[in-house]
C-alpha cells in the first residue's frame, strides 16, 4: 500500500476508533470488573499479554502493578500511538512492548502468566474470533496461566422491543422497507438497551470454555423455547453474553455500556398463551433465525436472514423502471 493510501485509511479509521474508545473507556461496569480481576492475579512475578490492547489501559494497569513483562498487541494501526502516549502519561512507556499486528500472525517469544483479551468486540460468538482465542491460548499461555475472559455463555430471551421510529408525520406506507429491515439483526448500544423489555427467562445457547476447547463449537441451529402467557407482545429475541473474567468476577453484557445486546426481530404472532421456539444460526454472512409456535401448529413459522433480504432487494431493483447514468470516473 502506498503512503497516500495508508494515510487515507488511517484518517478514515480515526473517527470510528475515537467513538468506540469513548464508549469503552466510559464503561464503568466493564472497567471495574476487569480491573478487579487483573489486580487479583498480577504482581512483580507476572508476565502479562494484552491482545486487542485498544487504548492500552489493561497493559498500563499491569505495568503499574509491577508486572515483570508486559506486551500489548493491537491490530488497528490508528490505536498504536494511543497505547504509547497513554503509557507515557502514566509513567510506564518503557515497560510495555507494543506490537502492531493481528494476534494470529504475530510472533512473540516466551509464554505469559496472564493473558487479557477483549478482541471480541461486537462479535463475541464469531467463528473467527473464537479461533483467534484458541490460537492465542495455545501459543502464548503458560501452563497454569490465567486467561481473561476464560469462559463465555451466550443467552437468548424473548423481548418486546420498543419502537425507535420517529412518529409518523407523513401518511405514507413504508412496509417494504420495514419487512426488509426485519431480516437484519440489530446491535442495541448501552443507551438503547432499555428499549428491550424482557418477557421470558434467558436460555443458554452456547457455553464456551476457552481453557479447554480446541475447535470452535457449532453455531448453527442453536435452539431455545419459552412457555409464555402472552406471546403476542414478543417481537424479537435478544442475545447477550456472560463473560467470566475469573470464576467469581462475571459480567453480563446487558449491564456493560460498551458491549451490545443482539436483537433478532420478527413479526409478533397473534397468539396469547403458548410456546415460542427459536432456531438461530450465528454467522456474520449466512446467519438466520426461525421462530415458531409449536403449541399452535396451524401457525406458520417465520424465517429471517440478510440473505433473503438481499435477494428480495436485488430482484426488486431489477424490476424497478429507472434510468442509470455512469459516472465518467467509474471504472467498468
Ligand atoms: C473490545 S476492544 C478492547 C480494547 C481494549 N481492551 C481497551 O479497553 O481499550 C477490542 C480490540 O481488539 C482489537 N482486535 C480485534 N481483533 C484483533 C486481533 N485478532 N489481533 C489484535 N487485535 C485485535 C480491536 O482493534 C480493538 O481495539
The CATH number covering residue 13 comes to 3.40.50.150
pLDDT band at 329 (very low <50, low <70, confident <90, very high): confident
Does residue 229 lie within any of the structural domains? Answer: yes
Q: What is the CATH number of the domain that holds 217?
A: 2.70.160.11
Same domain, 314 and 220: yes
**Domain co-membership, 158 together with 278:** yes
The answer to the question of residue 327 being in a domain is no
Identify whether residues 79 and 110 lie together within a single domain: yes
Q: How far is the CA of 243 from the centre of ligand 1 (A)?
A: 16
Distance of CA 51 from the midpoint of ligand 1 (Å): 7
If one compares 2 and 289, the residue with the highest pLDDT of the two is 289
Q: How many other C-beta atoms lie within 10 A of the C-beta of residue 273?
A: 12
80 within some domain: yes
For a substitution probing ligand 1, which of 121, 189, 243, 284 has the most ligand atoms within 8 Å of its CB? 121
Whether residue 119 has pLDDT greater than 80: no
User: 22 and 142: one domain?
Assistant: yes
Q: Which atom of ligand 1 is nearest to the CA of 132?
A: 19
Q: How far is the CA of 195 from the centre of ligand 1 (A)?
A: 28
What residue owns the CA closest to ligand 1's atom 12?
Answer: 52
93: DSSP letter? G
Among 124, 148, 172, where does a domain finish?
148
For the entire predicted model, the pTM comes to 0.90
- Residue ending a domain, among 92, 118, 148, is 148
Question: Which H helix or E strand runs over 230?
Answer: none
130 and 185 assigned to the same domain? no
Q: Which of the residue ranges 17-26, 64-73, 110-119, 121-130 would you say has the lowest mean pLDDT?
A: 121-130
Residue 253 Cβ contacting ligand 1 at under 6 Å: no
Check if the beta carbon of residue 52 is closer than 8 Å to that of residue 63.
Answer: no
Residue 240's nearest CA partner among 252, 228, 256 is 252
121 lines ligand 1 (CB under 6 A): yes
* Number of separate domains in the chain: 2
* Cα 42 to ligand 1 centroid, rounded to whole Å: 21
What cell was used for 8? 487515507
Confidence of residue 320 (pLDDT cuts 50, 70, 90): very high
Place 194 in a pLDDT band, splitting at 50, 70 and 90: confident
In this structure, which residue's CA is closest to atom 16 in ligand 1?
119
* pLDDT grade for 123, boundaries at 50, 70 and 90: low
Is 289 domain-assigned? Answer: yes
Give distance in angstroms: CA of 80 to centre of ligand 1: 11
Q: Is the pLDDT of residue 120 over 70?
A: no
Residues 279 and 230 reside in one and the same domain: yes
Same domain, 8 and 75: yes
Q: Greater confidence, 322 or 125?
A: 322
Domain residues for the domain of 13 are 3-148
What is the sign, positive or negative, of the torsion defined by CA atoms of 226, 156, 183, 268?
A: positive
- Nearest Cα residue to atom 15 of ligand 1: 119
pLDDT digits (tens, 9 = 90+) for 142-162: 999 999 999 999 999 999 999
Residue 177 belongs to a domain: yes
Question: Is there an atom of ligand 1 within 6 Å of 129 CB?
Answer: no
From atom 24 of ligand 1, which residue's Cα is the shortest distance away?
52
- Asked if residue 116 and residue 14 are part of one domain, the reply reads yes
- How many residues does this entry show for the chain? 332
Q: Tell me whether residue 25 is in a domain.
A: yes
Q: Report the pLDDT value the prediction gives residue 13, as an integer from 0 to 100.
A: 86
CA distance 243 to 173: 42
Residues 207 and 191 in one domain: yes
Highest mean pLDDT: which of 52-56, 216-220, 257-261? 52-56
What is the predicted pLDDT for the residue at 126?
73
pLDDT at 212 over 60: yes
Residue 323, domain member (yes or no): no
Task: Clarify whether residues 126 and 274 are in a common domain.
Answer: no
Q: Which of 146, 174, 154, 180 shows the shortest CA–CA distance to 253? A: 154
Query: Is there a domain that residue 133 lies in?
Result: yes
Same domain for 118 and 158, yes or no, is: no
Given 148, 177, 199, which residue is the final one in a domain? 148
Report the distance separating Cα 46 and Cα 40, nearest Å. Answer: 11
pLDDT confidence band for 124 (50 / 70 / 90) = low
The reported pLDDT for the residue numbered 168 is: 63
C-alpha grid cell for residue 130?
Answer: 473464537
Nearest residue by C-alpha to atom 10 in ligand 1: 119
**Over 60: is that where the pLDDT of 332 sits?**
no
Q: Are residues 223 and 307 located together in one domain of the fold? A: yes
Pick the atom of ligand 1 nearest to 73's CA: 21
Residue 122 pLDDT > 70, yes or no? no
Amino acid at each position: 500500500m502506498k503512503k497516500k493510501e495508508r494515510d487515507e485509511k488511517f484518517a478514515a479509521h480515526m473517527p470510528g476508533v475515537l467513538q468506540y474508545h469513548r464508549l469503552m473507556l466510559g464503561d464503568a461496569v466493564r472497567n471495574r470488573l476487569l480491573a478487579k480481576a487483573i489486580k487479583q492475579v498480577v504482581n512483580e512475578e507476572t508476565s502479562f499479554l494484552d491482545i486487542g490492547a485498544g487504548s492500552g489501559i489493561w497493559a498500563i494497569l499491569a505495568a503499574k502493578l509491577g508486572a515483570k513483562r508486559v506486551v500489548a498487541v493491537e491490530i488497528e494501526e490508528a490505536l498504536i500511538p494511543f497505547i504509547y502516549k497513554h503509557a507515557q502519561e502514566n509513567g510506564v512507556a518503557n515497560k510495555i512492548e507494543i506490537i502492531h499486528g493481528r494476534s494470529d500472525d504475530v510472533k512473540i517469544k516466551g509464554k505469559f502468566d496472564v493473558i487479557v483479551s477483549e478482541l471480541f468486540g461486537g462479535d463475541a460468538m464469531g467463528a473467527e474470533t473464537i479461533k483467534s482465542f484458541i490460537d492465542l491460548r495455545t501459543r502464548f499461555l503458560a501452563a497454569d496461566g490465567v486467561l481473561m475472559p476464560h469462559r463465555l455463555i451466550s443467552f437468548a430471551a424473548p423481548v418486546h422491543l420498543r419502537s425507535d421510529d420517529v412518529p409518523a408525520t407523513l401518511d405514507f406506507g413504508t412496509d417494504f422497507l420495514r419487512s426488509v429491515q426485519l431480516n437484519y439483526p440489530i446491535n442495541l448500544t448501552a443507551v438503547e438497551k432499555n428499549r428491550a423489555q424482557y418477557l421470558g427467562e434467558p436460555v443458554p445457547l452456547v457455553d464456551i470454555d476457552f481453557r479447554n476447547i480446541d475447535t470452535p463449537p457449532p453455531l448453527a441451529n442453536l435452539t431455545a423455547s419459552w412457555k409464555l402467557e402472552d406471546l403476542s407482545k414478543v417481537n424479537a429475541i435478544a442475545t447477550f453474553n456472560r463473560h467470566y473474567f475469573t470464576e467469581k468476577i462475571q459480567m453480563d453484557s446487558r449491564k456493560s455500556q460498551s458491549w451490545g445486546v443482539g436483537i433478532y426481530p420478527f413479526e409478533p404472532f397473534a397468539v396469547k398463551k403458548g410456546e415460542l421456539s427459536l432456531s438461530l444460526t450465528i454467522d456474520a454472512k449466512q446467519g438466520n433465525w426461525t421462530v415458531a409456535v409449536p403449541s399452535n401448529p396451524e401457525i406458520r413459522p417465520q424465517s429471517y436472514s440478510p440473505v433473503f433480504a438481499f435477494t428480495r432487494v436485488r430482484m426488486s431493483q431489477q424490476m424497478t423502471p429507472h434510468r442509470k447514468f455512469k459516472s465518467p470516473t467509474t471504472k467498468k
